[in-house]
């Protein structure tokens, strides 16, 4: 099924009474679309959290592996390789989530947008590499990062026929059928031209070009990671991901670091706190630039 901005639209097929778990920090779309749908509950200003959202911290302290929720949740968003942290989960870690979902009748919404950036052998490219996933998980794939489709817009979602939701009487309902109905009523898919462009990704020439592009960005990531480590930063990600997640010096906030980097080095990145409370103290840099600019940016950071 050809579709774009799926991550946001998928919330349409779920009840507003469903409890949602997200990692923290997180790709903001998962949270914001649930807030807009009315599923998040009230915003608690003191705690700086929504009352009906279960936040699962992912920080250096837990090696960027989210802990299973202590309570029952209905929908779980997982994204690996992760945006913003650039970290991954192995098969054993993912299996824990499949088991949790089975036990609690939850649905895992697995975002594999950065799958093409995986370089290490044992990292799963799809959640369906893990036994039992086809009963509890749906998976998003996007051409945005794989093939530079952020402007053209195309992606797809895999909803196995085995994945069932429960209606209000507790009867099983096919999510595949619901999503098909939703798509054919509200959207009808991307344009033919866009579909032909997506098709070209799978030709020999297309595959070769994409591989070359991704290699280029991964080399940038390596340069950033190595450069920052030489300066003395703690750096995460950047191996199976275009993102580098760095721990900023103690005593300043992510936004203060942003200002300093902008003013002293004329380099921009994203403050970790923009991705959630647990992102405070971190900063995201991306490899999506030219080799020359990447090298220049690191040189300037070295002089900071
Ligand atoms: C960029 C990105 C996407 C892309 O979504 P599209 O709507 O297909 O452009 C999806 N998930 C994550 C985590 C991203 O960073």
Q: What is the pTM of this model?
A: 0.96
Tell me what pLDDT residue 223 has: 98
Q: Enumerate domains of the chain plus CATH numbers.
A: 3-198 (3.40.640.10), 204-303 (3.90.1150.10)
Nearest-atom index, ligand 1, CA of 154: 8
Instruction: Pick from 7, 270, 288 the residue to mutate for probing ligand 1's pocket: most ligand atoms within 8 Å of its CB.
Output: 7
Q: What is the pLDDT of residue 6?
A: 75
- For residue 146, the CA-to-ligand 1 centroid distance in Å is 10
Distance 82 CA to ligand 1 centre (A): 11
Distinct helix (H) and strand (E) counts, the chain: 10, 15
Residue-by-residue pLDDT tens, the chain, 304 positions? 454 467 789 999 999 999 999 999 999 999 999 999 999 999 999 999 999 999 999 999 999 999 999 999 999 999 999 999 999 999 999 999 999 999 999 999 999 999 999 999 999 999 999 999 999 999 999 999 999 999 999 999 999 999 999 998 999 999 999 999 999 999 988 999 999 999 999 999 999 999 999 999 999 999 999 999 999 999 999 999 999 999 999 999 999 999 999 999 999 999 999 999 999 999 999 999 999 999 999 999 999 9
Ligand 1 — pocket residues by CB below 6 A? 4-5, 7, 27, 79, 83, 111, 113, 142, 144-145, 150, 155
- State the Cα–Cα distance between residues 274 and 270, nearest whole angstrom: 7
């Amino acid at each position: 099924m050809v579709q774009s901005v799926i991550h946001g639209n998928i919330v349409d097929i779920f009840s507003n009474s469903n409890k949602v778990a997200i990692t923290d920090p997180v790709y903001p779309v998962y949270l914001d679309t649930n807030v807009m749908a009315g599923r998040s509950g009230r915003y608690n200003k003191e705690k700086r959290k929504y009352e009906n959202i279960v936040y699962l911290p992912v920080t250096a302290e837990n090696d960027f592996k989210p802990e299973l929720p202590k309570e029952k949740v209905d929908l779980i968003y997982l994204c690996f390789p992760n945006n913003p942290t650039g970290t991954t989960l192995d098969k054993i870690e993912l299996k824990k989530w499949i088991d949790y979902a089975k036990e609690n009748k939850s649905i895992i919404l697995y975002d594999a947008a950065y799958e093409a950036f995986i370089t290490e052998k044992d990292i799963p490219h799809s959640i369906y590499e893990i036994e039992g996933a086809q009963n509890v998980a749906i998976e998003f794939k996007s051409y945005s990062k794989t093939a530079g489709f952020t402007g053209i817009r195309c992606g797809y979602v895999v909803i196995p026929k085995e994945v069932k939701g429960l209606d209000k009487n507790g009867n099983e309902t096919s999510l595949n059928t619901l999503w098909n109905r939703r798509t054919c009523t509200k959207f009808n898919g991307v344009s033919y031209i866009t579909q032909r462009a997506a098709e070209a990704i799978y030709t020999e020439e297309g595959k070769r070009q994409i591989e070359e592009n991704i290699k280029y960005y991964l080399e940038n990531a390596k340069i950033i990671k190595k450069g920052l480590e030489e300066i003395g930063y703690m750096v995460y990600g950047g191996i199976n991901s275009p993102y580098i997640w760095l721990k900023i010096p103690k005593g300043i906030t992510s936004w203060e670091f942003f200002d300093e980097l902008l003013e002293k080095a004329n380099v921009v990145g994203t403050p970790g706190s923009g991705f959630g409370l647990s992102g405070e103290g971190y900063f995201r840099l991306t490899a999506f630039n030219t080799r020359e600019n990447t090298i220049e940016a690191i040189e300037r950071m070295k002089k900071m």
